[in-house]
């Protein structure tokens, strides 16, 4: 039974899904930096969503020790922080606690599983959202989850069924994905296609693809990605990949990427886990990835500029 | 004899070299858009240079018809405007008039020579400067010229000797380059290495190269460039090319590129004549140029964003 839910990392993704749970009176605690925890406790979580605009009373804390009674942990810190964060909570989490990673990239599950023995499930998240204040989350569209297990066939997994029921019960579409690794790579693909470029140009997905040069650049990034994916045993056809890219550009027209949001806020981005990871895998496999390398280098430059 | 000098295009380059001539009482007229011409006529040209800070009385006009008595035309419009501008002045310029192109890229001399029959000489310009007001030019460093003729050996060319004497006489270091095509390509190289990236990041040359990812990206852009250059009969070694890049990063530390300046002002850039030209030549020769293509695409996106 999932009773005590913790959101580890109260960014836009954590606040959207944690907020949906809290709004439906689930027992949710947000673990956040002191300033955000204080704002959430004092003023509640303002959810400025497509379907509603409400301020929800929520519990928040910056004390990791509160995690000691966790049933479910929604892991929504930046990929950059996965290793450090799980190392810190390792001795606190009870053995019954289940972790669901809502993060970008394809490296987090492996990183987490190496640190802790709790089961780590994967969620592929499609939501357009951003924090526009300490306790205000702005939702631009979508908000569905695909959940699964990397290791074995997962349709009959009871924990996954519980997680799905939990989310479905609060109005978040959620399905169990029999091939979650492939779904993660498809999401990873669109992150590689859109995040860096949107960040470099501080430009929305809809605006980006108005430039034929960017459409071509995305296609080249995608081709390199698919070569690497195949070497990692993930087969995605070019037409399927381009359709996935297209669907982002058309369902999240006004969205700017989390990379763009991070750069605008003067924060480090997840680029090492996006195009940077493709470049790294390319080196490992001896495959050149010049297009991914170019956008990766430019995002690194933007990061170094703000430090 | 060079008496009547016209500066066609009163941007930073035109104002620096035209200003140096005017300051030494040469007969210089700046051809500019009405607003700038008015400012120059009314308030003079403010030259905020490394060695001095003076406001020089100058003549300016937005009437192309004034070019009818020209001996020397310093062509300093953006490469984008070469074709249109020379088509417009074609019937006005006297046959005695000599044109000296102070422009970026390697395509302007050919473009100009196809339109007009006047002799067109090439100048390779190294100057760090920018317009910081309608009539104010800020000079950050350097300011020397290499001049030559694309067609044949040019050391004995009298016109070139006159041009050199003219500039040397007003304190502008100027030499005749026996291999001007090669010098143009070396300048073109550093433009391809620095302009786009500085523009994308709105970042100075010195800051850019602090990022090891950018140093690597510049090296890859350079390798593609050298492959194309060789196919265009210009042999430059990698070590010579990297040394040329280095010298820019160290002699123009605080400079941002003209591409960065254009984007910041909401203007079209010369990118089609820089990395875009390498991409075009790559297609013509069947050589992939992914690094140049990436930065070209991103600058095109930045341009489309500001329109």
CB B298 within 8 A of CB A197: yes
Q: Is A160 left (phi over 0), alpha (psi -120 to 50) or beta?
A: alpha
Q: Please tell me the predicted confidence (pLDDT) of residue B43.
A: 98
Reported as a pLDDT band with limits 50, 70 and 90, residue A252 is: confident
The residue ranking higher by pLDDT, A284 or A150, is A284
Band of pLDDT at residue B58, cut at 50, 70 and 90: very high
Residues B16 and B46: beta-carbon distance below 8 Å = no
The tens digit of pLDDT for each residue in A15-63 reads 999 999 999 999 999 999 999 999 999 999 999 999 999 999 999 999 9
Measured CB to CB, residues of chain A less than 8 Å from chain B are 197, 200-201, 203, 207-208, 210-211, 213-214, 216-217, 220, 290-291, 293-298, 300-302, 304-305
* CA gap A264, B38 in Å, rounded: 39
In this prediction, residue B41 carries a pLDDT of 98
Which of A208, A211, A305 faces B203 most closely, judged by CB atoms?
A305
User: pLDDT tens digits for B197-247?
Assistant: 999 999 999 999 999 999 999 999 999 999 999 999 999 999 999 999 999
**How would you class A180 by CB atoms within 10 Å of its CB: exposed for 0-12, middle for 13-18, buried for 19 or more?**
buried
Please provide the DSSP assignment of B255-298 as one string: PPPHHHHHHHTT---SGGGTHHHHHHHHHHHT---HHHHHHHHH
For residue A307, pLDDT over 60 is answered with no
pLDDT in tens, B176-185: 999 999 999 9
How near does any CA of chain B get to the CA of A133, in Å? Answer: 26
Q: What is residue B307's predicted lDDT score, i.e. its pLDDT?
A: 57
Coil, strand or helix at A132: strand
The pLDDT of residue B153: 63
Mutate to test the interface with A, among B208, B301, B302 (most CBs of A within 10 A): B301
Prediction pTM value? 0.89
Over range B148-159, report the average pLDDT: 82
């Amino acid at each position: 039974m999932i009773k005590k839910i913790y959101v580890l990392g109260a960014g836009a993704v954590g606040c959207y899904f944690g907020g949906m749970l809290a709004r439906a009176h689930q027992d949710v605690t947000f673990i956040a930096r002191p300033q955000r925890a204080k704002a959430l406790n004092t003023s509640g979580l303002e959810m400025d969503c497509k379907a509603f605009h409400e301020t929800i009373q929520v519990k928040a804390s910056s004390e990791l020790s509160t995690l000691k009674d966790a049933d479910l942990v929604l892991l929504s810190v930046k990929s950059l922080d996965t290793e450090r964060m799980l190392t810190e909570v390792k001795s606190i989490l009870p053995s019954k606690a289940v972790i669901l990673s809502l993060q970008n990239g394809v490296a987090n599950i492996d990183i987490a599983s190496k640190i802790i023995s709790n089961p780590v499930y994967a969620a592929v998240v499609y939501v357009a959202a951003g924090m526009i204040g300490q306790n205000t989350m702005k939702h631009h569209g979508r908000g569905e989850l695909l959940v699964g297990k990397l290791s074995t066939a997962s349709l009959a997994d009871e924990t996954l069924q519980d997680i799905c029921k939990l989310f479905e019960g609060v109005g978040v579409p959620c399905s169990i994905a029999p091939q979650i690794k492939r779904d993660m790579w498809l999401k990873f693909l669109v992150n590689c296609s859109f995040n860096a470029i949107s960040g470099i140009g501080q430009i929305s997905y809809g605006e980006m693809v108005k430039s034929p040069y960017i459409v071509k650049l995305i296609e080249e990034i995608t081709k390199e990605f698919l070569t690497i994916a195949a070497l990692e045993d993930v087969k995605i056809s070019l037409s399927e990949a381009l359709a996935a890219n297209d669907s982002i550009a058309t369902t999240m027209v006004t969205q700017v990427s989390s990379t763009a949001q991070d750069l605008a806020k003067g924060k480090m981005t997840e680029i090492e886990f996006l195009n940077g990871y493709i470049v790294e895998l390319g080196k490992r496999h001896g495959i050149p990835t010049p297009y991914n390398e170019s956008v990766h280098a430019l995002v690194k430059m933007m990061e170094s500029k703000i430090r």
